Amino acid sequence: MANTPIPPVGTGPTPAPGTRLYAEPKFIPLLPGQITDGEASKYDVYASVLQPIPAPREGASLIMQLSDVLGQSAVDDINTAGMLVFHSVGDTGADKRNRVADEADVSAYMVKDLAIQPVPSFFYHLGDVVYEFGQAADYYSEFYEPFCAYNAPIFAIPGNHDGMIWDPSMTSLQAFLNNFCTPAPGPAANAGGLIRSTMNQPGVYFTLAAPFVNIIGLYSNVTDKGPGSISSEGGKNNLTDFQKDFLIAELQRLKPLREANQTAVIVALHHPPFYGGTADNPLGDDLDDAFTKGGLWPDVVLSGHAHLYERLERDINGIKMPYIIAGCGGYNISSYQTSSPTVKVPPSMASNTALRAYVETFGYLKIKVTKDKLAIIFNSINPAYGPAFDSILIDLLTHNVTEGAKGVEPL
């Protein structure tokens, strides 16, 4: 039912069990008392205490087929068209009381894309769906209402705020699981009067198998002011290694498909694994180790967490490896440097040869993938920067990475 208009609540037929509903055509205002940020005074106490990684839903495959969500007919149409298009960004969860800029501005631009061919098939959220402590009461104002008009599926990996707790008796990620990892799509208890169905992801880490691409999503835990973690990092913390083992196994499974040019491979997680010219934090080192053991480096790594857009590039055995940070979905832009709409890299940061773009503006990614090409486009909602302010085109045959012209979408 993606991109099919849905009648206002109460005017349409009762949906059949298992039917997925995505968009609400009318705006439902926020109700009093539906804003909460938890016990913010206790924020620093638990902001860096790693939380257990929830086990996948029992019996569920960790490889989620896009056809099981969109339907086989829609996936056949994507294959026939020869291109998959989807959105991605993180850090959207800004409530009406505290947000500096309205995340609904970002979602409104994404909604406009749904009326333009080729139509994006889904939104892949890079974490921090809600702030500050990922509680059920935050989901209406910070997720369901701002995206009420987004008439397509929304997948998500959790960010640190989605998993953060303020009391050890609380269960980390419970609200995220209740909204994104239910056994089957159904009414969302946290959606108020809105009709978006829950998503039935198998867990907080999984692979989304779609035409032309496999997206491996990971959970990098609750650390706020520091690098995230996907594993025990060789016994240095209290996490298990199940998630890293999954990543390695998936890379091994996908390697022959990638080598036969049957799929692109994207790794997505909330915390950026790469800063500067090297992977100089434990998360980056852990991912490098997994990529090496899996025998396959992904075509691109996507992350959020830093509230800006940033594109970096590493040289891995002569291959250009792009890392995209897109934490600019609506919650409080960071101000580490002064950026300008006339330049992609501030002069004060030009000595960082890995840095290709650094922009402090709200916006989102539009990603296009075909059998041979992968395009990643950053669209700013600020007219000074504008659509396609930055983009790259990856040749999946040669892995040559080409920077696109400003204002022009590759593919």
Most confident of 101-110, 174-183, 338-347: 174-183
In this prediction, residue 208 carries a pLDDT of: 98
**CA atoms 341, 409, 392, 115: torsion sign:** positive
Name the pTM for this structure: 0.91
In which band, very low, low, confident or very high, does the pLDDT at 190 lie, cut at 50, 70 and 90? very high
The answer to whether the beta carbons of residues 358 and 310 sit under 8 Å apart is: yes
- pLDDT tens readout for residues 59-100: 999 999 999 999 999 999 999 999 999 999 999 987 655 555
Whether residue 372 is predicted with pLDDT greater than 90 in this model: the reply is: yes
Residue 389 lies in a domain: no
Residue 88 lies in a domain: yes
Whether residue 359 is predicted with pLDDT greater than 50 in this model: the reply is: yes
The CA distance from 181 to 171, in Å, is 15
In this prediction, residue 247 carries a pLDDT of: 98
The CA distance from 14 to 359, in Å, is 45
Task: Quote the tokens at residue 201.
Answer: 């992801």
Percentage of the chain exceeding pLDDT 70: 84
Residue 46 lies in a domain: yes
Most confident of 89-103, 351-365, 387-401: 387-401
- pLDDT tens readout for residues 157-178: 999 999 998 888 889 999 999 9
Residue 101 lies in a domain: yes
Task: Enter the DSSP assignment of 10.
Answer: T
Residue 77 lies in a domain: yes
The CA distance from 174 to 227, in Å, is 23
In this prediction, residue 141 carries a pLDDT of: 86
In this prediction, residue 311 carries a pLDDT of: 96
Residue 198 lies in a domain: yes
Calculate the average pLDDT of the chain. 87
Q: What length does the chain have?
A: 411
Sheet of strand 123-125, all strands in order from the earlier edge strand to the far edge? 154-156, 123-125, 84-89, 363-369, 373-380, 390-395, 401-403
In which band, very low, low, confident or very high, does the pLDDT at 350 lie, cut at 50, 70 and 90? confident
Whether residue 153 is predicted with pLDDT greater than 80 in this model: the reply is: yes
In this prediction, residue 25 carries a pLDDT of: 53
The total domain count for the chain is 1
CATH of the domain at 74: 3.60.21
- pLDDT tens readout for residues 15-71: 454 678 888 654 434 333 333 344 444 555 666 789 999 999 999 999 999 999 999
330 φ/ψ angles, rounded to the nearest 5 degrees: 150, -10
In this prediction, residue 55 carries a pLDDT of: 95
Nearest to 126 by CA among 268, 311, 22: 268
In which band, very low, low, confident or very high, does the pLDDT at 347 lie, cut at 50, 70 and 90? confident
Least confident of 32-36, 149-153, 211-215: 32-36
Whether residue 104 is predicted with pLDDT greater than 80 in this model: the reply is: no
Domain span at residue 100 reads 40-270+286-333
Whether residue 290 is predicted with pLDDT greater than 60 in this model: the reply is: yes
